[in-house]
Amino acid sequence: MELNICHLYPDVLNLYGDGGNILCLQKRLAWRGIDVSVARLPIGSPTSLSGFDLVFIGGGQDFEQQVLLEDLHRGRSREICAAANDGVVFLTICGGYQMMGHYYETFDGKRCDFIGLLDLVTVGAKERMIGNYKFRCTPEAGGSVVVGFENHSGKTRLGPSLRPLGTVLAGRGNNGEDGTEGAHWKNVFGTYSHGPMLPKNPAFADLLLATALERKYGRAELQPLDDAAELAAHDEICARV
Ligand code: GLN
């Protein structure tokens, strides 16, 4: 068995250790004897998204989000939609998550028209939402408690039929108002959780891997790992927040 992972826009969307999520996925597969390849596709890369099982998109500041718009609308946007509709697993964080929606309008009124894959919009607020936070995933997203670090000005609102990834337990999440965090549609997961999020949330990391393996091979037997260190980190942050 093998999973092919893509880190999309690592040159511009890679804040607060987001790239560590890739290392975590690589390790959790290797420890189980499952092969893994990782391709990094920066702005302008001619490599297509076809053939990838899991695509990771990290966060970036407003400026970086504007920088990649041209590349996105040159064809990457269509590829992302095609892959997502085909069931490819996506983990998208903060700026990358906002990018999956219709648009992001900054606090000073600059509008980035994004992909429109997920029925959500984001509008910048004056006060940034910053700090460690935690949320509980919906049952369809595994039900685990995820701890992370959020830092965004954008307030994201989901359309009526889009399910959140979870419910905020402490912190702000999508907008600091309606108690929702992130979004989950098909195998696309969006969240505000930087950190990197996966090393200290092993249940969520395994949910992504199991989903990708299941889609590719029709089965996903993930051997249990010794997650003592990962869970100690998780519990420590959980208790502090
Ligand atoms: N620029 C976006 C915001 O501030 C995303 C920031 C991020 O990815 N951390 O809302």
Beta carbons of 55 and 218 less than 8 angstroms apart: no
Q: Is the pLDDT of residue 148 over 90?
A: yes
Which of 151, 157, 193 to probe ligand 1 with, by most ligand atoms within 8 A of CB? 151
Q: What residues are labeled active site?
A: 94, 194
Report which of 94, 24, 97, 88 is spatially closest to residue 55, judged by C-alpha positions. 88
Picking from 20-24, 64-68, 160-164, 168-172, which range would have the lowest pLDDT averaged per residue?
64-68
Distance from the CA of 11 to the center of ligand 1, in angstroms?
Answer: 16
Picking from 42-51, 58-67, 121-130, 135-144, which range would have the lowest pLDDT averaged per residue?
58-67
pLDDT averaged over every residue in the chain: 97
Reading the block at residue 234, the tokens are 């998780």
Reported as a single tens digit per residue, the pLDDT across 73-125 is 999 999 999 999 999 999 999 999 999 999 999 999 999 999 999 999 999 99
Reported as a single tens digit per residue, the pLDDT across 174-194 is 999 999 999 999 999 999 999
* Ligand 1 and 60: CB distance under 6 A: yes
pLDDT band with cut points at 50, 70 and 90 for residue 221: confident
Mean pLDDT of 49-67: 94
Beta carbons of 150 and 130 less than 8 angstroms apart: yes
How many other CB atoms are found less than 10 A from the CB of residue 49? 20
Distance from the CA of 83 to the center of ligand 1, in angstroms?
Answer: 24
* Ligand 1 and 156: CB distance under 6 A: no
Which of 152, 172, 174, 191 to probe ligand 1 with, by most ligand atoms within 8 A of CB? 152
* Ligand 1 and 112: CB distance under 6 A: no
- Give the pLDDT of residue 153: 97
Report which of 234, 197, 210 is spatially closest to residue 58, judged by C-alpha positions. 197
Residues 6+ apart with CB under 8 A from 221: none
The 3 state secondary structure assigned to the chain is CEEEEEEECCCCCCCCCCCHHHHHHHHHHHCCCCEEEEEEECCCCCCCCCCCCEEEECCCCHHHHHHCHHHHHHHHHHHHHHHHHCCCEEEEECHHHHHCCCEEECCCCCEEECCCCCCEEEEEEEEEEEEEEEEEECHHHCCCEEEEEEEEEEEEEECCCCECCEEEEECCCCCCCCCEECEEECCEEEECCECCCCCCCHHHHHHHHHHHHHHHHCCCCCCCCCCHHHHHHHHHHHHHC
Q: Could you give the CA distance from residue 232 to residue 136 in angstroms, rounded to a whole number?
A: 18
pTM of the model: 0.97
* Ligand 1 and 94: CB distance under 6 A: yes
Using alpha carbons, list the distances in angstroms from residue 125 to 87, 179, 200: 33, 17, 29
Reading the block at residue 227, the tokens are 């997650």
Q: Could you give the CA distance from residue 194 to residue 16 in angstroms, rounded to a whole number?
A: 6
Tokens 């919009």 -> residue: 121
Mean pLDDT of 210-225: 95
* Residues found in the chain: 241
Distance from the CA of 97 to the center of ligand 1, in angstroms?
Answer: 9
